[in-house]
Amino acid sequence: MNYERMMARGLHVLSASSGQLDGFGLRFNKRSRRDATFACANVIYAPGERVEGVLYHLATPSEIIKLDPHEGTPYMYSRELFWIQTLSSRIPAWTYIANPAVIDDGARPERWYVEHLLAGKEYLSAEYWHRIDQTPCKETVDVIW
């Protein structure tokens, strides 16, 4: 949900807006490919829940391919099309879903990672932003030599 991170990944974004996916929940349960004890965000089927996020309107449909290597698609995440509710309508949008082989409910995110999601504050409800902000994170240990 961090616009600057999307720009750094070379995406040509025309605009951004809020979106919601009903019947799904946000979890930090996808093992990182860099550190198996570190969790990344994932969207799971969860009746009664809602995921809020940022919809990026890309310059061309093929722009999404630029994001795939950063997400580890198709091995770590699969990219799937979901109908997302916006303020005015429902639109199809690509969503990354963690593959079952990389799910670990015991892993936790690091705070710097959660901050990337929190950067989308203007697109999230205050309640949802606060819930992300309260995510239990992996403790980092400073090593003194």
Before 100, cis peptide (omega within 30)? no
Are 25 and 44 in contact by the 8 Å Cβ rule? The answer is yes
pTM of the complete model? 0.90
- Indicate the angle between helix axes 126-133 and 111-118, nearest 10 degrees: 170
CATH architecture of 3-133: Roll (3.10)
Helix (H, G, I), strand (E, B) or coil at 122: helix
Q: Which pLDDT tens digit goes with each residue over 14-63?
A: 999 999 999 999 999 999 988 888 999 999 999 999 999 999 999 999 99
Q: 10 Å Cβ neighbour count for 83?
A: 12
Helices and strands in the chain: count of H runs, count of E runs: 4, 4
Q: Which pLDDT tens digit goes with each residue over 81-135?
A: 999 999 999 999 999 999 999 999 999 999 999 999 999 999 999 999 999 999 9
